[in-house]
């Protein structure tokens, strides 16, 4: 495909995101070559059965040097080790990128392990609660944002090529400072996951209400939280540890606001509650207007 930003992408880690990239490349850049690497034999077997990539293997010595774009799709806590493992096998002029949900720690790992390479951290803000190579799909990035966080020294032509790659996969691309990215994602993604994990844990640990009752009556609101609390445990453990400072900061803000609301309930300040509940409704409307969620009631869940 003439004008394609890269000729050969190597995807390291064939989970939900990695396998979605492989599928999207197949669909939108059919002439691009794809290599997939994964340490798990089970994942490789599934990926082979799905014919996700032209080449699927575990050993980076086995052709990684042919790729002009290498994207790490592993949990952020594994990035440093994976970078160390692949470093000797990278083509000199390959662009190294990733899809991690926090950028500062990934940048530190890239600086330490692949200092001689062009590395451009990136984060497609997309996903589902499912994991593994069979969970991916080619349209995952359509209409979603991909945030790239180069620093002042990053080759701008390479940033442009990587941005074009993501655009072809359907994403809108935004450039941002890595520290700011980590703060933004702490509130739009990490804090929501933390809260969801907590409430699902709380609900399953009560004496007066059984777990079976919690499940039975979950349609009252609880079930909405269980979706993101079903996300990959390892991936999310790593996110919270890697983006610790920003997450703790947002958590502090949230706890203060929750205390204020608790006080409003205790003192029966109905006006304060109503004011907040009216304000939050407007934000939902804007998210739908911006095309970042389904306008259908109930997320478009089927009501047969």
Residue of 67, 94, 106, 228 interacting with a copy of itself (CB under 8 A): 228
Residue 113 has, within 13 A of its CA and on its CB side, a CA count of 21
Q: Please work out the total of residues on this chain that contact a copy of itself, with binding judged by CB under 8 A.
A: 112
Work out whether 166 is an interface residue with a copy of itself (CB under 8 A): no
Give whole-number Cα distances, 267 to 212, 254, 271, in Å.
33, 20, 11
DSSP state of 30: T
Work out whether 87 is an interface residue with a copy of itself (CB under 8 A): no
Interactions with a copy of itself, residue window 233-252 (CB under 8 A): 233-234, 236-238, 240-241, 244, 247-248, 250-251
Window contacting a copy of itself (CB under 8 A); options: 1-9, 41-49, 111-119, 225-233: 225-233
Work out whether 206 is an interface residue with a copy of itself (CB under 8 A): yes
Cβ 148 to a copy of itself, closest distance in Å?
A: 13
Window contacting a copy of itself (CB under 8 A); options: 28-36, 43-51, 107-115, 203-211: 203-211
Contacting residues for 23 by C-beta, under 8 A, at least 6 apart: 52, 136, 137, 138
Interactions with a copy of itself, residue window 134-153 (CB under 8 A): 135, 137, 139-140, 142-145, 147
- Name beta bridge partners: 35: 10, 55
Give the number of other Cβ atoms within 10 Å of residue 258's Cβ. 11
Residue of 129, 167, 175, 177 interacting with a copy of itself (CB under 8 A): 129
d(CA 76, CA 55): 24
d(CA 201, CA 26): 40
Work out whether 59 is an interface residue with a copy of itself (CB under 8 A): no
Interactions with a copy of itself, residue window 24-53 (CB under 8 A): none
Work out whether 167 is an interface residue with a copy of itself (CB under 8 A): no
Are the C-beta atoms of 35 and 42 separated by less than 8 Å? no
Work out whether 270 is an interface residue with a copy of itself (CB under 8 A): yes
- Phi and psi angles of residue 58, each rounded to the nearest 5 degrees, phi first: -115, -20
Work out whether 192 is an interface residue with a copy of itself (CB under 8 A): yes
């Amino acid at each position: 495909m003439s004008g394609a930003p890269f000729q050969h992408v190597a995807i390291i880690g064939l989970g939900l995101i990695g396998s979605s990239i492989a599928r999207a490349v197949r669909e939108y850049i059919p002439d691009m070559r794809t290599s997939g690497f994964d340490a798990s034999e089970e994942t490789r077997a599934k990926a082979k059965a799905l014919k996700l990539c032209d080449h699927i293997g575990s050993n980076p010595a086995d052709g990684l040097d042919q790729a002009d774009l290498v994207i790490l799709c592993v949990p952020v806590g594994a990035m440093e080790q994976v970078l160390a493992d692949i470093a000797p096998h990278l083509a000199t002029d390959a662009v190294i990128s990733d899809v991690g949900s926090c950028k500062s720690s990934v940048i530190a790992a890239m600086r330490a392990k692949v200092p001689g390479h062009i590395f451009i951290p990136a984060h497609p803000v997309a996903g589902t609660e499912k994991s593994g190579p069979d969970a991916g799909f080619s349209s995952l990035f359509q209409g979603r944002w991909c945030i790239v966080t180069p620093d002042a020294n990053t080759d701008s032509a390479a940033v442009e090529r990587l941005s074009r790659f993501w655009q072809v996969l359907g994403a809108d691309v935004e450039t941002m400072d890595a520290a700011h990215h980590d703060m933004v994602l702490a509130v739009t993604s990490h804090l929501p996951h933390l809260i969801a994990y907590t409430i699902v844990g709380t609900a399953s640990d009560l004496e007066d209400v059984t777990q079976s009752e919690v499940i039975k009556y979950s349609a009252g609101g609880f079930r909405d939280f269980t979706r993101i609390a079903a996300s990959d445990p390892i991936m999310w453990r790593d996110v919270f540890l890697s983006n610790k400072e920003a997450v703790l900061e947002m958590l502090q803000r949230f706890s203060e606001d929750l205390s204020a609301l608790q006080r409003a309930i205790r003192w029966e300040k109905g006006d304060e509650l109503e004011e907040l509940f009216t304000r939050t409704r407007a934000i939902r409307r804007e998210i739908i207007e911006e095309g970042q969620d389904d306008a259908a009631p109930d997320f478009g869940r089927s009501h047969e």
